[in-house]
Structure formats: structure tokens, C-alpha cells
């Protein structure tokens, strides 16, 4: 922009008064009236004698008026600055403080060099300090009607606490891409109307956006609660990022950002209706605090890394999700009778309201959410890894977990309101069957010395796996479960063998009483001279167990094909068949036991 040379001989009385104040190192206090919001009418009485030209301010700061400063400081309070203030490429080696003033046009400091600029409580239009270099940029309590441009700027610190920034439609409110500060950047308690971008920023201290309010421009038809409100991509914040108790009326994306301290969003409201908060691939050296936060849409933190703990204690997800299979919340009860094959399948749900796929949390993951009755859907924990999991059974009442590949150092079992059966049922509710969650729980229980409980978890793994197989393999699995408990309950084989042996003995005794049992020589007495004495239990064992040879099966058999003999002649074959089935189940069970050991 070409700037006309300023004529210092054409000063108005107010501008001459400003020079007098500055020459004597005083604050040029022109008015104590509050500055008019940009675009609103001025009160003529309050601002009488306060109007100065923007070109005068420029000449004063560049020392083009011939005024020698005894101290590198200029302070103006309560001015009405008419016309643009163009300081592009300027070098201001002084502290400039323009406070409680109204800029009727833009303030430009592109490619400028300055020491300290204070614009507290000012009313401004577009402010452009892109590629500016300086120590401190401060505009606390300012009201900006337009865009605050901070792109590629480099300061020791910036401070815009309590500011109000309202962008024009289709324009950003804050454009701070590649902003760099060696200390903190503060935007506490700001009210921002319009999208804000902080892509690639580098903050040597804290980035503070706490107790603030961000919304999209109400007059822009393209901006809805599904729009992108705050973009903080690929940023590097050496200390902490504060979003505590801030309201975001649309989507917030913090993907790929590195935070050297903690990310504190306790009590924040993320009201984007589709995606509320996106933390994909974020690296946080300390904790991620989302306690008491509210989400109207999804919270996504896939492949994020948290060096300490991640807490969602008492966080709420407002009525998220529907059971699209029935249109009602899925049942909170899953049958636990191990012999019952009518357990309901996990409910069909829509997309996850909390996605932690691939996340790594070195400390605790606190999922003690405040799940209201209308909150039901899916929580994705697939391939995530946490030091320990803190949750409560009530959290999962209407929520389905995705647990494939989820790893943890510890989680409550038989403590903090959980029982072993409830924990296994929690795994049963997973979105799609996966064996790994059962194996992970079995590992934890085995490492804790609870080997019997570990076998219970693995038994349920095989029981659930059977449902995902074809009819033939399902039948084999059913047989293996009934007779050997998938190799985890070998006592079942002994029980079945004992029961069948006794039943066989009873049936052989009945056959003897019916007179249809004879020896190999045709004798029907109890102890014939040519054969061993008939013994019903011994004959049952001889025909039942393939490896047992007691001489009874070779010497006694059923004679006849009518009446009772017709039915009893199938007894030996039935016992032989059951014997082979039970022996096969026992061998398979022992084989699985040996392979685990």
C-alpha cells in the first residue's frame, strides 16, 4: 500500500495536544468514555476533542514529526482514530500503548518490527500483524470487528484475554497459522464469532483458550454446527493447552498437535453435532483431562499418545446414538448361564461416539462417563493400550465396546463394583466377536494368580466363537463344550464317563433280568464254567472305554431279535459310540491343557 507523506504542519488541535503529552512522557488521555464498537455510532459529546487521524498516528510512531522522545514509549488513551493506520514494514523500537480507543479503519503491521504493542480495551476493525516480529502483542478486552491476522508472526508472548472478535461472513475470526511465541499465547475468556485457525503454531509456553466462547458466524448459511470452528493442526506447544470451561458451538480439530504439558478441557462444551472434538494423532506428554466435558457429537482420539492419564470422568455425550436394530436402547442384561445358547447377540449400533482406536495411554484411562438414559452407541478401544482402565458397569449399560486388540496393565475385576461375570459379559457385548479381548483378560487373571478365573474367561471365548462358525463346526464346538468345556473343564469328561458307566451297568442288569444276556457258549447262568461270571458294571466299563479289556465284552452278548432283545441289542453299540466320543473329548481337552502349559 502506498502511503502519502505526512505534513506535520497541518496538525489539528487534538493532535497537537497529543504531541505535548508525548513530549513530556505523559499518557495522552483524550477521553475516558468507553470506545464505541466498530461500526456503531459515536457519542459526539463523549468523544468531543478525541478525534485524531490514522496517518498522524503512523507518523508519530515512525517519528516522522520531528519529535524527540526522551523515553521509547508512546501512550494514547481514549482516542478516536479516523482512517487506516498502516505500519507495514515499520520498525518500532519502543513501547506503544493505545488503550480505550476506537479505530474506525484497519490496523496493519505486516512485516513490521516492534518492541511492545498494547491495544487494551480498544475497538478495532481488521488487525493484521502477519509476519510481524516483536516482544509483546497485547489487546486484552479489545473488540475486533473483522479478522485478527497473526499468520507467521513471531513474538515473545501474545495476550488477548477478554477480547471479542467477530469476523465478516466467509472470513476467519482468528488466522494464526505458523504463529510463534517463545512464551505463552493467551486468549482467555475471549468471545469469538467465526472460524479460527492455529495450524502449525509453535508456543514456547502455554496456549490458553479457557473460559472462552467460540461460534461460527450466524449470518453465513454454510456455517452450521457441523462446520469446522477451531483448527489446531500440527502445532507444537511446549507446555500446556488450556480449553477449560470453554464453549465450542461447532467442530474442534486438534489433530497432529504435540503438547509438552497437559491438555486441560475440563468442563468444556463441544457442541458440534457430527464431530465435536478431533484429537487424532495428538501427542500429550502429561495428561488429557476431559472431566465434566459435554459432547454433542463424536470425540475422536485415534492414534493419540498420552504420557500420563486420560480422564473422561463425568463427561456426557448428549443423547448420542440409537439402536438401529430395534429403535430402542439395547438390553443391559446378557444371559450368563453357560449352558444356554440363547444369549442375545450384541446390539447393532451406529457409529462410535468415543473413538480411541490405536491410542496409547501410559497411565489410567478413566471412562467413568455420565451416561444418561439416552446415551447408547459404541465406544471404540480397538488396538488401544492403557496402563489401567477405570470404568463402572453402569457406563456400559446401553453402550457397546469395540475391544479387538485392546491391551491394559490392569482393570477392575471383583472390585470397584465389578464381578468377574460382569467383566466377561462386558467383553461378550463387543461389536464384533474377537478372541483377543478374552485372551487379554485371561492373561491379566493368570498373571494375578487366578488361573481358574483365567480358564473361565477363555471358556467364554470359545463359547462365543462357536456362534460365528458354520453349522458343522458349530456342532463340533457344541459337543466339545458339553463334554469337555473346550478343554478348560476336564472334570466334565469324568462326570460324563461315570454317568454313562453307571447307566450302562443299570441297562445291562436290566437285560440280564429280561433273560436276553447269554455267554459265548450260550449259557444263561450267572457263572458258567466256560466264561467269567456276569457283572453288569464290569461289562459296562468293558464296552464303554476303548482301552479297557476286562474279558466281559468278549464272553457276554445279547441273544434274540424280538421283544426286549430287539432293543437291548443296541446297548453295546451305544456304549462303544459314547465311549469313543468321550475319549476323543478327553484327549482333545488334555491336548489343549498341555499346549497352554
Reading the block at residue 561, the C-alpha cell is: 431279535
Q: According to the model, what pLDDT value does residue 291 have?
A: 96
Q: Is pLDDT at 3 greater than 50 in this prediction?
A: yes
Q: Is pLDDT at 439 greater than 50 in this prediction?
A: yes
For cell 461447532, the residue is 250
Tell me the average pLDDT across 399-407: 92
d(CA 282, CA 302): 8
Q: According to the model, what pLDDT value does residue 348 have?
A: 39
For the segment 300-359, what is each residue's pLDDT rounded down to a tens digit?
Answer: 999 999 999 999 999 998 755 433 233 333 333 333 344 444 444 444 344 789 999 999
Considering only 110-124, 390-404, 474-488, 518-532, which range has the smallest mean pLDDT? 474-488
Tell me the average pLDDT across 16-33: 84
Cβ pair 553, 579 in contact under 8 A: no
Cβ pair 307, 282 in contact under 8 A: no
Q: How confident is the model at residue 77 (pLDDT cuts 50, 70, 90)?
A: very high
Reading the block at residue 483, the C-alpha cell is: 463334554
Top-confidence range, 222-236, 280-294, 363-377? 280-294
For the segment 235-288, what is each residue's pLDDT rounded down to a tens digit?
Answer: 999 999 999 999 999 999 999 999 999 999 999 999 988 889 999 999 999 999
* Count of beta carbons in the 10 Å neighbourhood of residue 211: 18
Among 437, 438, 441, 429, smallest CA distance to 399 is for 429
What radius of gyration, in Å, describes the C-alpha atoms of the chain?
40
Cβ pair 376, 321 in contact under 8 A: yes
Cβ pair 188, 211 in contact under 8 A: yes
Q: Is pLDDT at 376 greater than 50 in this prediction?
A: yes
Can you state the percent helix, strand and coil of the chain, rounding each to 5? 25, 25, 50
Beta bridge partners of 300: 278, 355
Q: According to the model, what pLDDT value does residue 574 have?
A: 73
Q: According to the model, what pLDDT value does residue 485 have?
A: 55
- The burial of 274, by beta-carbon neighbours within 10 Å (0-12 exposed, 13-18 middle, 19 or more buried), is given as middle
Q: According to the model, what pLDDT value does residue 455 have?
A: 77
* Count of beta carbons in the 10 Å neighbourhood of residue 34: 13
Cβ pair 440, 408 in contact under 8 A: yes
Helix, strand, or coil (residue 73): strand
Considering only 95-109, 124-138, 296-310, 504-518, which range has the smallest mean pLDDT? 504-518
d(CA 174, CA 185): 13
Reading the block at residue 277, the C-alpha cell is: 472434538
d(CA 133, CA 76): 22
The chain-wide mean pLDDT, for the chain, equals: 81
Q: How confident is the model at residue 34 (pLDDT cuts 50, 70, 90)?
A: low
**How much is the pTM?**
0.76
d(CA 400, CA 403): 10
* Count of beta carbons in the 10 Å neighbourhood of residue 596: 14
Q: According to the model, what pLDDT value does residue 104 have?
A: 92
Q: Is pLDDT at 561 greater than 90 in this prediction?
A: no
Beta bridge partners of 215: 193
Cα angle, residue 292 at apex, residues 288 and 296 outer, rounded to 5°: 95
Cβ pair 276, 354 in contact under 8 A: no
Q: Is pLDDT at 293 greater than 60 in this prediction?
A: yes
For the segment 159-176, what is each residue's pLDDT rounded down to a tens digit?
Answer: 999 999 999 888 999 999
Name which residue leads in pLDDT, 81 or 8.
81
Name which residue leads in pLDDT, 297 or 590.
297
Q: According to the model, what pLDDT value does residue 334 have?
A: 34
d(CA 480, CA 589): 9
Q: How confident is the model at residue 155 (pLDDT cuts 50, 70, 90)?
A: very high
The pairing of strands 247-248 and 213-215 is: parallel
Q: According to the model, what pLDDT value does residue 525 have?
A: 66
Q: How confident is the model at residue 565 (pLDDT cuts 50, 70, 90)?
A: low
Cβ pair 424, 455 in contact under 8 A: no
Distant-in-sequence, close-in-space partners of 40: CB < 8 Å, separation ≥ 6: none
d(CA 329, CA 331): 6
Helices (H) and strands (E) in the chain, counts: 11, 49
Q: According to the model, what pLDDT value does residue 512 have?
A: 72
Q: According to the model, what pLDDT value does residue 383 have?
A: 95
Burial annotation 167-196 (CB, 10 A radius, 16+ → b, else e)? bbeeebbbbbbbbbbebbbbbbbbbbbbbb
Q: According to the model, what pLDDT value does residue 89 have?
A: 94
Q: According to the model, what pLDDT value does residue 536 have?
A: 75
| Percent of the chain scoring above 70 in pLDDT | 72
Q: How confident is the model at residue 210 (pLDDT cuts 50, 70, 90)?
A: very high
Largest CA-CA distance found in the chain, in angstroms, rounded: 148
Q: According to the model, what pLDDT value does residue 330 have?
A: 34
Cβ pair 389, 411 in contact under 8 A: yes
Q: According to the model, what pLDDT value does residue 347 have?
A: 43
Name which residue leads in pLDDT, 417 or 238.
238
Tell me the average pLDDT across 367-387: 84
Q: According to the model, what pLDDT value does residue 71 have?
A: 74
Amino acid at each position: 500500500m502506498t502511503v502519502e507523506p505526512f505534513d506535520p504542519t497541518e496538525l489539528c488541535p487534538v493532535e497537537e495536544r497529543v504531541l505535548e503529552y508525548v513530549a513530556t512522557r505523559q499518557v495522552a488521555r483524550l477521553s475516558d468514555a468507553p470506545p464505541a464498537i466498530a461500526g456503531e455510532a459515536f457519542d459526539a459529546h463523549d468523544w468531543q476533542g478525541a478525534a485524531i487521524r490514522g496517518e498522524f498516528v503512523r507518523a508519530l510512531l515512525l517519528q516522522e514529526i520531528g519529535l524527540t522522545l526522551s523515553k521509547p514509549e508512546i501512550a494514547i488513551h481514549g482516542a478516536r482514530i479516523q482512517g487506516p493506520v498502516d505500519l507495514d514494514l515499520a520498525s518500532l523500537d519502543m513501547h506503544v500503548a493505545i488503550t480505550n480507543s476506537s479505530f474506525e479503519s484497519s490496523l496493519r503491521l505486516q512485516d513490521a518490527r516492534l518492541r511492545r504493542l498494547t491495544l487494551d480495551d480498544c475497538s478495532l476493525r481488521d488487525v493484521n500483524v502477519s509476519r510481524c516480529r516483536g516482544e509483546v502483542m497485547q489487546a486484552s478486552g479489545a473488540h475486533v470487528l473483522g479478522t485478527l491476522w497473526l499468520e507467521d508472526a513471531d513474538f515473545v508472548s501474545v495476550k488477548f484475554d477478554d477480547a471479542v472478535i467477530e469476523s465478516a461472513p466467509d472470513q476467519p475470526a482468528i488466522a494464526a497459522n505458523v504463529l510463534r511465541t517463545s512464551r505463552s499465547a493467551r486468549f482467555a475468556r475471549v468471545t469469538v464469532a467465526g472460524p479460527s485457525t492455529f495450524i502449525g503454531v509453535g508456543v514456547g509456553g502455554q496456549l490458553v483458550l479457557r473460559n472462552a466462547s467460540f461460534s461460527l458466524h450466524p449470518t453465513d448459511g454454510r456455517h452450521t454446527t457441523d462446520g469446522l470452528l477451531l483448527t489446531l493442526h500440527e502445532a507444537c506447544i511446549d507446555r500446556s493447552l488450556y480449553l477449560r470451561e470453554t464453549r465450542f458451538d461447532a467442530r474442534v480439530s486438534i489433530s497432529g498437535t504435540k503438547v509438552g504439558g497437559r491438555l486441560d478441557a475440563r468442563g468444556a462444551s463441544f457442541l458440534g453435532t457430527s464431530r465435536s472434538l478431533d484429537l487424532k494423532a495428538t501427542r500429550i506428554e502429561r495428561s488429557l483431562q476431559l472431566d465434566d466435558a459435554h459432547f454433542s457429537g463424536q470425540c475422536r482420539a485415534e492414534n493419540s499418545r498420552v504420557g500420563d492419564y486420560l480422564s473422561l470422568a463425568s463427561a456426557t455425550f448428549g443423547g448420542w446414538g440409537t439402536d438401529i436394530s430395534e429403535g430402542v436402547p439395547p438390553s443391559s442384561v446378557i444371559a450368563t448361564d453357560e449352558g444356554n445358547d440363547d444369549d442375545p447377540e450384541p446390539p447393532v449400533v451406529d457409529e462410535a461416539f468415543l473413538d480411541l482406536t490405536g491410542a496409547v495411554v501410559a497411565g489410567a484411562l478413566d471412562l467413568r462417563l455420565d451416561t444418561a438414559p439416552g446415551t447408547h452407541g459404541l465406544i471404540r478401544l480397538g488396538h488401544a493400550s492403557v496402563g489401567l482402565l477405570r470404568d463402572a458397569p453402569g457406563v456400559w449399560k446401553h453402550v457397546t465396546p469395540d475391544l479387538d486388540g485392546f491391551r491394559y496393565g490392569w482393570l477392575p475385576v471383583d472390585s470397584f463394583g465389578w464381578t468377574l461375570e460382569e467383566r466377561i459379559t462386558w467383553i461378550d457385548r463387543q461389536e464384533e466377536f474377537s478372541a483377543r479381548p478374552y485372551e487379554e483378560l485371561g492373561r491379566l487373571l493368570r498373571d494375578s494368580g487366578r488361573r481358574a478365573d483365567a480358564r473361565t474367561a477363555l471358556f467364554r471365548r470359545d463359547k462365543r466363537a462357536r456362534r460365528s462358525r458354520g453349522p458343522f463346526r458349530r456342532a463340533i464346538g457344541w459337543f466339545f463344550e458339553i463334554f469337555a468345556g473346550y478343554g478348560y473343564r476336564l472334570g466334565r469328561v469324568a462326570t460324563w464317563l461315570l454317568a454313562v458307566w453307571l447307566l450302562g451297568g443299570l441297562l445291562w442288569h436290566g437285560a440280564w433280568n429280561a433273560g436276553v444276556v447269554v455267554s459265548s457258549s450260550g449259557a444263561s447262568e450267572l457263572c458258567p464254567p466256560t466264561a467269567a461270571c456276569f457283572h453288569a458294571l464290569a461289562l459296562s466299563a468293558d464296552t464303554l472305554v476303548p482301552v479297557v479289556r476286562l474279558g466281559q465284552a468278549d464272553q457276554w452278548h445279547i441273544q434274540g431279535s424280538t421283544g426286549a432283545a430287539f432293543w437291548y441289542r443296541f446297548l453295546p453299540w451305544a456304549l462303544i459310540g459314547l465311549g469313543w466320543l468321550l475319549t476323543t473329548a478327553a484327549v482333545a481337552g488334555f491336548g489343549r491343557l498341555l499346549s497352554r502349559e
